[in-house]
Structure 1
Amino acid sequence: MKSIFLVALLSLLLMGNKSIAQDDKSYLVTVTKLHWNQDMKNFNMDDWKAVEKEYLDKVVKKNPFILGQEILLHSFTEDNSEILLVTRYENWDAIEKAGDKDDELIKAAWPDEKARNAYFEKRSAYYAHNHSDEIYATIPGGKIPKGNFDKDMLYYVRVSHFAFPNDGTQKEYKELSKQYFDAVLNKNDLIKAYYPNRHAWGADNTQFTEVFVVESLADLDSALNKNRDLFKAAWADEAKRKEFNEKFGKYFTGKHSDYIYKSVHELTK
């Protein structure tokens, strides 16, 4: 049942089902992995939020080429120092234009050079020097909330890998995806948002990253259980469940990794 849940969640990657999709366009998402400066003394989370909120209000929110942005903090990952800066753009051209616009907005927000340097020295002091970057392309068919969340949410990230079966077809894949979506995922109200992304620029072109947004760890556990129960109800016959699992499972390697982050809702565009 865990394996069918894995492949079935991945089914949304190539779907464009309008019953959950708020936007059928594909966007580019940059993910910059930053790290806390572990040597910083007297760290205060509220002070850090205030510094980042100033930049958000004066630059990010005024940049029309940045469609959305959020900051995610370590909750259950291998590195407790990591911070993810996730930014969404319309296309490659917008990424370049956003950088130029940032420079313009920064000079307008801090016209005095000394004040500008002081602010950015204060901001950079929170972070280590090393960072890494990945670029993903969103897949139409995500479950997009109508607005920003008014509280911190948990982001369950599942990184999986596609297989390329010789006997597979796009038609079969889409049919199986839709069957599972209609019977299970569309009925799970515990998943508040779902963001499927495929590799666009990075180390592994088979990688697909899904983000499931829930309110708590308890809700995440309940969401997994609810998917299992809904699947059993839709495919009540054990032989039918096995047949479905075998057909669908061939499209995936079965290898995946899991991460859980916590959003900072005050720092969201």
Structure 2
Amino acid sequence: MKTTNQLFSVIALVLFLFSTATVLAQDDAPKRPEFITVTTNHWNMDKEDFKMSEWKAAEKEYLEKVTMKNQYIMGASVYLHNMTPDNTEFLTVQTFASWEDIGKFGKRNTELEKEAWPDETKRKAFLKNLKSYYANKHSDEIYTPISGVKFMTEKPTKDMVLYIKKSHFAFPEDGTMEEFNKLSMEGNAAIVQKNEFIKAYYPNVHAWGSDKTEFIEAFFIDSLSDLDKMFDRNDQLMKAAFPDTAANKTKGEAWRKYFTGVHGDYLYTFIHDLSK
């Protein structure tokens, strides 16, 4: 197990470095974050005066006065439950250019809060009201982006659907970084990049958190009706790029050995006007 764990660590690290080098070589490519933090929050179901419109207005005010001005936060977004096992959950996602920035953004938030609400009484009242919408429990994960991103071509002007596929690495004894990367990028170029229903795609691996086997793929699509269309188009592109031949069967077997075969599917609603 120690050997295979080390192998995966090398694979994840090298894939990340390859991803970074590729982006830096493209002058017109969006700047990539090094780390992505994902916080799973839960609504306070005991709040009697809960109004979604008022929660959103408070979050938007905080976004404009604090998050948007915090130079250590590259990006931020909010995702509400759509089809997941827990209807009380929602995600807040933030991206960072470095590990050091993760350690700095909290202090900067506090400074910006004081600037936005210089009156201490009003500041405490605002933050208390915002906090009242959330349950006390939450969980945090940190991921690292890898190669294969399909960037959003323009900032969304409407809410979108986020489809998350969470797979798990199997740590094969005969696996190599070179093979994994080659198979991953070949399939990505032939399917993800050519699927017009996939408006953006972000693959990420575990960096810090509860499960080091996680491989997270985030697909942005316009609507729920496009979800089936996306899967159908994937099948069409798969058959076109990898016809039923002995060589392609061998590729498929090689790719599948990197995963346990178990995955989970999650649907969230991306709130376009609560994003940086």
Instruction: Tell whether the structures are fold-level matches, with TM greater than 0.5.
Output: yes
Distance 1:160 1:200 in 2: 15
Q: Which amino acid aligns with 2:87?
A: N
- Give CA-to-partner distance per residue, 1:45-81, whole Å, 9 cap, x none: 2111111111000000010101000010000111100
Of 132-141 and 77-86, deviating more is 132-141
Distance 2:250 2:147 in 1: 28
Percent of residue pairs identical: 46
**Pairwise mapping of residues 177-192 of structure 1 onto structure 2 (< 5 A)?**
177-192=184-199
Q: Which amino acid aligns with 2:53?
A: D
SS in 2 for 1:97: helix
CA RMSD of aligned residues (A): 2.1
Q: Which residue is 2:51 aligned to?
A: 44
Q: Describe the shift of the 1:92–1:179 C-alpha distance in structure 2 as closer, same or farther (beyond 3 A).
A: closer
**Which residue among 117, 138, 142 is the counterpart of 1:135?**
142
**After TM superposition, where is structure 1 displaced by more than 6 Å over at least 4 residues in a row?**
none
SS in 2 for 1:233: helix
TM-score by length of structure 2 reads 0.86
Asked if 1:151 corresponds to 2:143, the answer is no
Instruction: State the Cα distance separating 1:239 from its structure 2 match.
Output: 3.8
Of 138-147 and 102-111, deviating more is 138-147
Distance 1:70 1:116 in 2: 23
SS in 2 for 1:247: helix
Q: Describe the shift of the 1:76–1:159 C-alpha distance in structure 2 as closer, same or farther (beyond 3 A).
A: same
**Pairwise mapping of residues 94-243 of structure 1 onto structure 2 (< 5 A)?**
94-243=101-250
Q: Which amino acid aligns with 1:31?
A: V
Distance 1:252 1:156 in 2: 19
Alignment: residue pair count = 256
Q: Is the 8 A contact 1:23 1:140 kept in 2?
A: no
Distance 2:123 2:188 in 1: 50
**Which residue among 33, 39, 44 is the counterpart of 2:40?**
33
Structure 2 unaligned spans of 5+? 1-13
Q: Which amino acid aligns with 1:50?
A: A
Distance 1:32 1:133 in 2: 4
Q: Is the 8 A contact 2:33 2:96 kept in 1?
A: no
TM-score by length of structure 1 reads 0.88
Q: Which residue is 1:70 aligned to?
A: 77
Q: Is the 8 A contact 1:158 1:257 kept in 2?
A: yes
Distance 1:155 1:209 in 2: 12
Distance 1:56 1:175 in 2: 40
Structure 1 unaligned spans of 5+? 1-12
Asked if 1:56 corresponds to 2:45, the answer is no
